[in-house]
Amino acid sequence: LILLSVACLSLTAQVPTYRTLPAGYNAFGMSPSGSFITGYNSTGCFIYKTVDSTSSAIGGVEAWGVTDAGVVGGIAQGMTPSGAADVASIYSAGTGWLNLPTVPGGGYVTGTGSYSHIFGIADNGETVCGMYWVNGAKTTAFKYNINTGYTNLQDAGSSARANCISGDGLVVGGWWQAASRVPICWYPGQTGSMVSPYGEMYGTNSTGTYVAGYDNSGFNTIPVLWDRVNGVSVPVPLPTGVTDAQAMAVSDNMVTVGYSGGSFSASGFIYIPGQGTFDLQAYLTSLGATGVGNCGMPLAISRNGRYICGLTGGFPRMSWFVDLGSVPTAAGSLTQASVSVSAF
């Protein structure tokens, strides 16, 4: 894989900043250090450099994750046993888009031309996760390594999807279908652990010790972190006045971001252990940031918890990038911190 040069982001404390990406960009993934953001627009995929706000068009169809070397996991056009389709693919500057091989059993192409998808990529760019179509009614969640090939992940006999993978490539989060979607973390190997009876998992930290998602097995949708070491699901405190939310991403110091409300009325939050859970827009303003716009849907966070990207709620939808100005000071465990919940 060809490495892109990465300009290091400043780690000195400063006033937080908020900025939007070019119009039409849909930002879905950020590299571990926060140096790159990836996603797609109406003409293909992009890599956006946060250090200087420049971007490069890279072709392809969809992009969902990017490494600090500029390796992207997503979808590109390719050939399958059933003909041309959208195929899970990995991009690097040196090779362009490379389709993953034919899936186990040959797979299936849907009526909309979908064959396989990548939704997560490990930090070294060598392991990815996603799903492929088995037939018109079933998908299989998979992990793929460029050296060892495909690993089908356990399911309950119906569809499943892998949404995220830890930086070390060992832990995968997503869902499998039972009576409804069941939030699942696959570890070790292909073995799935049920987080709760209903929900979905979306993001992990570098070693998969925590996986972010939601649990709606009760009357409300609750953001949760799956604690892999102890094998338990721990609720993330909600901001004041919020009754339903979902966690989308978690850093190595347990800083967690997510949102409440639907996609067009979404309101982003940030949880910092030992400090509490805050409306993200209000939190940035309280720290002195100016010109802070809609932070409706935070979708990704850097490993150190300082950099966040996502989408605005409402229409027209924009993508945004936030620098908190310094690495958040997280203190205590989630259980200890859960008594401190507030909003500005």
Beta strands in 2-100 (DSSP E): 17-20, 26-30, 36-41, 44-49, 54-59, 62-66, 72-80, 83-92, 96-99
- pTM for the whole structure: 0.92
Instruction: Per residue of the chain (344 residues), give pLDDT as tens.
Output: 333 433 445 445 699 999 999 999 999 999 999 999 999 999 999 999 999 999 999 999 999 999 999 999 999 999 999 999 999 999 999 999 999 999 999 999 999 999 999 999 999 999 999 999 999 999 999 999 999 999 999 999 999 999 999 999 999 999 999 999 999 999 999 999 999 999 999 999 999 999 999 999 888 999 999 999 999 999 999 998 999 999 999 999 999 999 999 878 999 999 999 999 999 999 999 999 999 999 999 999 999 999 999 999 988 899 999 999 999 987 655 543 332 223 32
Q: Which residues of 255-279 are buried (b: 16+ CB within 10 A; e: fewer)?
A: bbbbbbeeeeebbbbbbbbebbbbb
3-class SS at 246?
A: strand
Residues with Cβ within 8 Å of 268's Cβ and at least 6 positions away in sequence, in order, are: 257, 258, 259, 279, 280, 281, 295, 296, 297, 298, 310
φ, ψ (nearest 5 deg) of residue 282: -65, -35
